[in-house]
Structure 1
Amino acid sequence: MTEKRTCQVCMHHCSLAPGQTGLCGARKNEGGEIVCENYGQITSMALDPIEKKPLQNFRPGANVLSVGSYGCNLRCPFCQNHEISMGGREEAGGMCVPPKLLADTALEWKERKKAGNIGVAFTYNEPLVGWEYVRDTARLVREYGMENVLVTNGTASLEVLEELLPYIDAMNIDLKGFREGYYRKLGGNLETVKQFITRASAGCHVELTTLIVPGENDGEEEMEEEARWIADLSREIPLHVTRFFPQYRMRDRGPTDVGALRRLAGIAGRYLEHVYLGNV
């Protein structure tokens, strides 16, 4: 019988028996090898404004072909895409889109004058649980003279990041808060994300997003510590401070108070050159 194998993509290090799928729902021990089960399985595709990623300081006004699969290695109770991120292959559905077909589709949209398209954004679910597909597609997109965007929670190993960085032009990375206890609630690890952001920001354009959840990560001291840390990397890194709305499994509180959101953004603005409010 084939032995268990350990997935090295993120800090969970799932030890998987033959045929078993990891916590993310997308990686599996198949014949003694950890494989990307969601490779090429696309559940969502749309031509989006780049600002929707959100990216404000990268190719403003452009459109980007945005795609997602299924699976995620966090368990955020407020997830807005939980149907695909928390579901497995059967629940999420989708269609098979090999890397070349996706790259060709992106090129077709680039040549449509009315809409236009700068490339591909890997988003909607957590793309890094299927990083091999991101790498293979992004390489082709780059060969076509287009650009690649990654929207991620940053909860992955630096080895995975190094595989992708040569092909990624911009990232939006969730920095969900600045307390280890809060990250544990979400099934993550703050230090892993900080290391990911540090390396990514040295390799491509990076913007960060912090969703402010009332009673969880809305302390002024926490925001000040977060902004100071980001500024130590670079004062030029944009931070999106966004508003929470009740959804999925977190309907026990109201939306973030807009005044509180503005105060937190003001605190971040003491240290950072570019702070944006989202969902207000």
Structure 2
Amino acid sequence: MSARDDHSTPATGSPARWWHRLADGRIQCDLCPRDCKLHEGQRGLCFVRQRVGEQMVLATYGRSSGLCIDPIEKKPLNHFLPGSSVLSFGTAGCNLACKFCQNWDISKSRQMDTLMDAASPQGIAQAARDSGAASVAFTYNDPVIFAEYAMDTADACHALGIRTVAVTAGYINPEPRRAFFAKMDAANVDLKAFTDEFYRQQTGSHLAPVLDTLQHIVHETDCWLEITTLLIPGLNDSTAELEAMTRWIAGNLGADVPLHFSAFHPDYKMGDVPATPQSTLTRARRIALDQGLRHVYTGNVHDAEGGTTFCPGCAAPLIERDWHAVLHYALDAGGGCPHCGTRIPGRFAPQFRRGLGRRRIPVRIAPA
């Protein structure tokens, strides 16, 4: 049942979708596999979906924890409008409990006061257009938990010719999954590991729903997918696990899905775990290539080879990068290799137009 079906707007927050009443009087949230069951006034683990009276509301609708212009490569997306600028936007809260969260001050926030900026869907779309951004990314915290807000913003963006990007852990139930990713032009999904043990112990969630999300995006939507795995020393970087993960990606998603291996740095509850050595990223990339993946990248490090898009046909370097900066771009107008004609999978503009490079520019939305 959707709160929008038969209830008026509550005094606090915006009506939420994907919930139903239980026989014992509680309300169950149906957005993600946590299935939080709430009494009056309680919030789900994400902290932004709350029971108010006999309905559920999204407490962060129309409020932002910050907006910035970034290079699209920072999401990271290497095959989606390379070199372009993206307006990055988030709220607060998260439906996972990752001990290694790199954005914990936002995603783990329990203070709605961190949401300083009013940001309507139309205001966000207009800010993106006015700043010259080619897309808006729902990021910083997981957009799954503010799905209604992100979807309304996606509609506003599409009306102005702005594309949309979801940066997410992919922990979402089937019905909202279909509605949410139908609104997204691209997604980077965090595949945090390839064992359920890791997901349970380090994130408080499960692996299977994430794998379902990855397959849904590839096989049932037009949304462009790239995957990121943050390699944490001793926890998810073994050769056996990386072989199993990349074999699964090649077999179930296809060899053309780009995979990013990113370096961990000590943060949040894992301050005593060492940073990922570059040799681990290089090893992971080689394993993935050996398993048949064609586009594998290293992130959070300076690595010329690991940042370059190579033609799978003739091995020519086509897009060379240094971290988030595009140094050289050689694709033809059709997104193909100028040397052998092999088409590179992705979403490429007919002409390469460099955005703002590695600069990160805060954006404010004028009051309505």
TM (norm. structure 1) is: 0.94
How far, CA to CA, are the matches of 1:250 and 1:91 in structure 2?
26
Question: Per-residue deviation at 1:91?
Answer: 5.4
* 1:219 partnered with 2:238: yes
Spell out the pairing of 1:53-202 with structure 2 (5 A cutoff): 53-90=75-112, 92-110=114-132, 117-185=133-201, 186-202=203-219
Contact kept? 1:180, 1:189, Cα under 8 Å:
yes
269, 272, 276: which is aligned to 2:293? 272
How far, CA to CA, are the matches of 1:134 and 1:89 in structure 2?
20
TM (norm. structure 2) is: 0.72
* Structure 1 or 2: more helix by fraction: 1
How far, CA to CA, are the matches of 1:3 and 1:164 in structure 2?
28
How far, CA to CA, are the matches of 2:113 and 2:228 in structure 1?
28
What SS is found at the alignment partner of 1:167? coil
Which amino acid letter does the alignment assign opposite residue 223 of structure 1?
L
How far, CA to CA, are the matches of 1:130 and 1:19 in structure 2?
18
Question: Per-residue deviation at 1:261?
Answer: 1.9
How far, CA to CA, are the matches of 2:236 and 2:135 in structure 1?
34
Unaligned runs of 5+ in 1: 111-116
How far, CA to CA, are the matches of 1:73 and 1:87 in structure 2?
12
Contact kept? 2:73, 2:83, Cα under 8 Å:
yes
How far, CA to CA, are the matches of 2:81 and 2:227 in structure 1?
16
Question: Per-residue deviation at 1:93?
Answer: 3.2
Contact kept? 1:3, 1:18, Cα under 8 Å:
no
Per-residue CA distance 1:14-54 (angstroms, 9 max, x = gap): 00111111101111011221221111210021000000000
Contact kept? 2:91, 2:115, Cα under 8 Å:
no
How far, CA to CA, are the matches of 2:183 and 2:96 in structure 1?
25
How far, CA to CA, are the matches of 1:223 and 1:103 in structure 2?
39
How far, CA to CA, are the matches of 2:282 and 2:49 in structure 1?
40
Runs (4+) of structure 1 exceeding 3 A deviation are none
Question: Per-residue deviation at 1:279?
Answer: 1.2
* Paired position in structure 2 for 1:38: 60
